[in-house]
Amino acid sequence: MPIDVIHADITRLTRDAIVNAANPGLLGGGGVDGAIHRAAGPALLEACRALPEAAPGVRCPTGEARITPGFALPARWVIHTVGPVWHGGDEGEAELLARCHRNALRLLRERKLRTIAFPAISCGVYGYPAAQAAAVAVATLRDALAAADDDDLAVTLCCFSDAMRAVFQHALNAA
Ligand code: AR6
């Protein structure tokens, strides 16, 4: 299966694209978002600022995705997506998280890119329980890859701790 799980710093990965777990403003933040902006350099912030606003201060509504160059990153592109804030699971969180993964993969394919790495979207500041997020990520990516029917696509799930890697690996093995 073209999905693998690793424990790594996503900013160090050489892929066609890495995914950023951003916020709707797309002007940087903490966590993986801050790390990606630091590693990419200030040109990334300028590229994000240049993206059109869907509403005041909103360049990427929750569940959607936007693409910019990777600038100083080893990855050529950054696909920014905004995961849901966890409110207990009854506010459409799973569908919004699935949309993040589907929309990121859609942008990858539209650009004729092949390799992509995802962080554990929403599993940090946004509070999504890791095991549930991992199940959504794996199921969504597996379905999207099957629908794409393209042997060249390769997806890495990049976890920032060994504990998170184990959770995502378990979801992959269970699916
Ligand atoms: N490489 C891979 N994963 C990382 C890295 C890294 N360098 N750094 C952190 N993680 P979070 P969210 C993991 O909080 O929950 C930001 O401020 C981290 O351990 O980055 O979607 C945005 O601007 C966790 O497992 O993203 C938003 O405001 C996972 O990445 C908000 O946080 C996601 O944690 C988004 O919250």
If you measure from the C-alpha of residue 100 to the centroid of ligand 1, how many angstroms do you get, rounded to a whole number? Answer: 14
Residue 167, amino acid: V
State which residues form the domain around 94.
3-174
Does residue 152 carry a catalytic annotation?
A: no
Per residue in 119-137, pLDDT (tens digit) is: 999 999 999 999 999 999 9
Q: Averaged over 28-49, what is the pLDDT?
A: 98
Closest C-alpha to 66, from 93, 106, 29, 116: 106
Q: Averaged over 165-174, what is the pLDDT?
A: 97
What CATH number is associated with residue 94?
A: 3.40.220.10
pLDDT at 155 over 80: yes
Domain count across the chain = 1
If you measure from the C-alpha of residue 36 to the centroid of ligand 1, how many angstroms do you get, rounded to a whole number? Answer: 10
Closest C-alpha to 117, from 142, 153, 93: 153
* Average pLDDT of the chain to the nearest whole number: 97
Confidence band for 175, pLDDT divided at 50, 70 and 90: confident
Task: Say what percent of the chain tops pLDDT 90.
Answer: 97
Protein residue whose Cα sits closest to atom 7 of ligand 1: 9
Q: Which of 4, 9, 16, 33 is catalytic?
A: 33
